[in-house]
Amino acid sequence: MTSPSIAPEKPCALCGKPAVERFRPFCSKRCADIDLNRWLSGVYAVPAEEAADEEERPAKDEDERP
């Protein structure tokens, strides 16, 4: 059984509203702009190698020897 879906349009990638053909895959220019801005600002870019959480801390002084 195949559903008679004429236009299997995906919802807006941002807000989930039905996408408009003109702004696909978004529902409006606004969403398209937001996505573009995100893209440009590097949100979608591959994250750079994050340094390990361990920050360079000064080694504990060995003053507190037992």
Cα 5 from Cα 18, distance rounded (Å): 14
Cα 37 from Cα 27, distance rounded (Å): 16
The count of residues interacting with Zn ion (CB under 5 A) is 6
Work out whether 14 is an interface residue with Zn ion (CB under 5 A). Answer: yes
Binding-site member from 15, 36, 40, 43 for Zn ion (CB under 5 A): 15
Nearer Cβ to Zn ion (44/52):
44
Q: Which of 37, 7, 36, 2 is nearest to 19 (CA)?
A: 7
Minimum CB separation of residue 53 from Zn ion in Å reads 36
Phi-psi region at 11: left, alpha or beta (left = phi > 0; alpha = psi -120 to 50): beta
Stretch 25-64: interaction string toward Zn ion, x if CB under 5 A: --x---x---------------------------------
